[in-house]
Chains A and B, each alone.
Chain A
C-alpha cells in the first residue's frame, strides 16, 4: 500500500500547476447561469485551451492516476468545470471511442476534444427513469433514416447542444433490454422541441426534449441495431469512475470554510455542531482515500472502472447533503437567504441521491453485483 506518486506523475502535476497558474488569469468573465449561449462559449473556450495545451484527452487516454491528478489540480486552482462538455467528454465520447466505427470516431471525437461541438443526453423519459430500459421513444426505419418520435427528460444543455446521444426503441416486440438502439441525433434536425425545466433551485439546468418524426441517418447509429443497451452500459460505467474527484476536493474546501465561518459567528462553541464538522472531516478524508483506492484498482486492472463506483456514489451523495445541512446549521437563520453562500448548493445537493442512478438503485447494484444477493423486487 502506497500513497506516493511516481516521479512521472509528480512531473505531470507540476507542469499542470504551472500552466494553470499562467492561463487562469487570462480567462474571460464567467457568464451568468441563465446565459446559455454565453455558458456554451465559455465552456468550449476552456476545452479549446486544454486542447491547445495537450490536456484535452486526459479523460480518455491518460492513466487513472493522471486523470485523478488532473481533476484534483484543476479544482484546486479554481479552473472551470467541464460544464457543457460533460456529455461529450464523459458519456458520448467514451461510448463512441469504445463502440463506434473508425469513420464515426473520426467524425465525432475530434470536435469534442477541440471544443467545437456540444453533446447532450437523451436517455431518461417521463415514464422511464430508474427503469431506463422501459423507454418508449420509437424509431422506425425509413430508407436510410430512422424516424424518431417520443420525448426525453432531464436533458442538460439541450438548448445549446449540437448532438444528442439518444436511446430509442427499435424493436417493440423484443424483451425490453434487447430492443434499444443508440443514435447520434443532430439537434438541428426538424421536429425537435426543447422545453426548459426549472429545478427546485430556481434555475433551468435541464430540459424536456420532444421528438416529432425526427429523421436521423442510419449511419448515426453506434453499435448494432437493438444492441444499444449494452452500448449504453459502457457509457454508464464511465460515469461511475472518477466522476466526483473534483467535487470531493471542493467539498473539503467548503468544509474548511464552514469551520472558519462557525468560528467567526460563534456557532463553533456548540460542541454538537463542532463534532459534526469533525465527523464530516473524517467523511471527506475517507472519500478521498476511497477515490485513491478505486483509482489504484482501476490502474491495476487496465483502467476499467468497477462497481466500486456505486459504493462511492452512495456514500458521497449522502455526505454532500450532510455537508450542506451542516452549512445550514452554521448559517442559522441566514440559511433561508438565497443570497448567502451555500444556500443554493444545499438545494442542488438534493439531486445527488437521485441523479445518475438513485441511491436505491445503487444499493440494488451493490447488493446484487458485489454481494451476490438474488435479484428481486
Chain B
C-alpha cells in the first residue's frame, strides 16, 4: 500500500502552486476592490485553462491530460489555498461538454443547490438560470444568485469542493501559525501561550483528518467516501478559518486582513449542494446498508 503522493503528483502540485501563486496573489485584492461586482480576469482564466485546471481529466485525444480524480483533487486544493475566484468546479465539470470550457475560453457557471455562483460573468449556465435573483453576497469574491429550482449535485463537484475546502483549511492553519509566531504580547510570541497554541494544533488535526478523507475519496471515487470527505473538509475549513480569525485578534476582524476572505469563501462552499445534510444522511444510511463494513474489508 502506498497511500502517499507519487513524485509525479508532487511535481504537478508544485507547478500549479507556482503558476497560481504568481498570478493570483495581487489579483485577489484587485478583485476585492471591484466589490460588489467583481469581474473574472479572462486572461487569468485562460492561463488556468493552459495549466490544465479544467481539462486535466479529459483523455489526451480530447486535449486533456488523461489524469484522474487524485490529480484533480490536488489541483483544487491548491486553488482553494490561493483563494482563486471564479466558477472553477462548474467549468471543470463542463470541460468536454461545453465548447471552450476545457481551454478556459468559456466561463461556465452551474446551479448547485439553490445557488449559482458567478452568474453574470458566465458565458454559459448549466442547466439554466431561469428566475435567478441576485443576492448581496457575503463573500466579496463570489457573486451569488438564488434560483427557484434546486439543481442536482454531481458527486465529483462535491469532491472538488471538499478539495478546495481542504486548501482553505491548510491555508488558514498556516496563517494562524505565522501570526502566532510573530505577534508578541506580554513580552513573548503569543504562540507560546497554550491557549493560542492549542487552537493552532486543533486546526492542524482537522486539516490532516480532512486530507486523509479527501485523498482517499479521490482514490476510491466512492460516493460514501466523498460524503465523508465533504463533511470533514467543510468542518476543517470553517472551523479553521474561525480559529484563525480568533488567533489574529482585532486585526482578524478588519477588511484588509485576508482571514475573512477565507472564512466567507468556506461558508459559500459549505452551502453548495444545499449544505451537508444530504451527505450526513447518506453516511447514516450507509451504516444500515452495511457497506461501510464490507468496504473496509476490501480496502
| Chain A residues close to B by CB (< 8 Å) | 1-6, 9, 65, 68, 76, 249, 252-253, 255-256, 258-260, 263, 274-275, 277-279, 281-283, 285-290, 292-293, 295-297, 299-300, 308, 311, 314-315, 360, 362-364, 366-368, 370-377
Q: Is the CB of B288 within 8 A of A293?
A: no
Contacts of A255 in B (CB 8 A): 287, 292
Q: A1-B215, A2-B3 are in contact. Are A278 and B284 (CB under 8 A)?
A: yes
Residue in chain B with minimal CB distance to A287 = B209
Contacts of B9 in A (CB 8 A): 1
Q: Is the CB of A281 within 8 A of B228?
A: yes
Contacts of B287 in A (CB 8 A): 255-256, 258-259, 277-278, 281
Q: Which listed residue, A253, A260, A314, touches B288 by the CB 8 Å rule?
A: A260
- B244 beta carbon closer than 8 Å to chain A: no
Q: How far is the CA of A2 from the CA of B192 in the complex (A)?
A: 38
- B225 beta carbon closer than 8 Å to chain A: yes
Q: Is the CB of B209 within 8 A of A315?
A: yes
Task: Classify the interface of chain A: helix, strand, loop or mixed.
Answer: helix
- B177 beta carbon closer than 8 Å to chain A: yes
Q: Is the CB of A292 within 8 A of B3?
A: yes
Q: How far is the CA of A368 from the CA of B290 in the complex (A)?
A: 41
Contacts of A285 in B (CB 8 A): 213, 216, 224-225, 228, 292
Q: Is the CB of B284 within 8 A of A314?
A: no
Q: How far is the CA of A205 from the CA of B153 in the complex (A)?
A: 51
Q: How far is the CA of A293 from the CA of B210 in the complex (A)?
A: 12
- B175 beta carbon closer than 8 Å to chain A: no
Q: Is the CB of A290 within 8 A of B1?
A: no
Residue in chain B with minimal CB distance to A13 = B297
Q: How far is the CA of A9 from the CA of B1 in the complex (A)?
A: 8
Contacts of A282 in B (CB 8 A): 213, 227-229, 231-232, 279-280, 283
Q: Which residue, of B2, B280, B281, has the highest number of chain A Cβ atoms within 10 A?
A: B2
Q: How far is the CA of A360 from the CA of B194 in the complex (A)?
A: 9
Residue in chain A with minimal CB distance to B192 = A376
Q: List 10 A-B contacts (CB under 8 A).
A: A3-B219, A263-B288, A285-B225, A286-B209, A289-B212, A293-B215, A311-B204, A370-B204, A371-B204, A373-B200
Contacts of B218 in A (CB 8 A): 1
Q: A260-B288, A282-B232, A296-B3 are in contact. Are A371 and B201 (CB under 8 A)?
A: yes
Contacts of A290 in B (CB 8 A): 208-209, 212
Q: How far is the CA of A364 from the CA of B250 in the complex (A)?
A: 25
- B191 beta carbon closer than 8 Å to chain A: yes
From residue A282, how far is it (CB to closest CB) to chain B in Å? Answer: 4
Q: Which residue, of A295, A300, A315, has the highest number of chain B Cβ atoms within 10 A?
A: A315
